[in-house]
Amino acid sequence: MSKPYLNPGLPTPVATELDQPYWDGLRAGKLMLQRCRACQRFQWGPEWICHRCLSFDYDYVEVPASGRIYSHQRVWHPVHPALKTQGPYVIVLVELPQADNVRLVGNLLGDPQQPLVIGAEVEGVFEQHADAEPPFALLQWRLA
């Protein structure tokens, strides 16, 4: 397994009733996002109700892990002890055209000082943290 993008020691994500299928999906190498059963539209982050049609009946549906950079930031100042020796790292906000343009937060893999371009096409990389307690996976991105 390749090394995770960020140093170990950040808080471990733990699923809730609302987002359990998402986290289970990442562990299995799939991107599962919330979609309303009534109007068939995606929304993210997960909500108890569809903000469009107000149905409480939602499902999780697999979505291709590909999108484009909506915005970005290169972080320099560490605000968590685990990141003190990290150096700069890149956070991207990725919109998914194949899921009603919902957006996901992730890291952009590669040189942390690479040029950052809004609109650039990216594809997902499932980053497994199998040894964590509890085990989890993150969805990272690289330029397509």
Residue 113's nearest CA partner among 76, 58, 69 is 76
Which string of x and - marks every residue 43-82 that binds another protein (by CB under 8 A)?
xxxxx---x------------------xxxxxxxx-xx--
What is the spatial distance between Cα 73 and Cα 93, in angstroms, rounded to a whole number? 9
Confirm or reject binding of residue 118 to another protein (CB under 8 A): yes
> Which residues, numbered 81-100, are part of the site for another protein (CB under 8 A)?
83, 86, 88-89, 91, 93
Is 102 among the residues that bind another protein (CB under 8 A)?
yes
For strands 58-62 and 32-36, give the pairing: antiparallel
- Please give the helix or strand (H or E) that residue 95 lies within, else none: strand 89-96
Tell me the C-alpha distance between 91 and 116, whole Å. 10
Cβ-based nearer residue to another protein, 25 or 107: 107
Query: Is the CB of 15 or the CB of 38 nearer to another protein?
Result: 15
Q: Which of 71, 67, 32, 39 is nearest to 55 (CA)?
A: 39
Structure tokens at 3: 């090394």
Residue number with CB closer to another protein (29 or 88): 88
Query: Of 132 and 144, which has the nearer Cβ to another protein?
Result: 132
31 touches 124 (CB < 8 A): yes
Chain contacts with another protein (rule: CB under 8 A): 6, 10-16, 18-19, 43-47, 51, 70-77, 79-80, 83, 86, 88-89, 91, 93, 102-107, 118, 136, 138
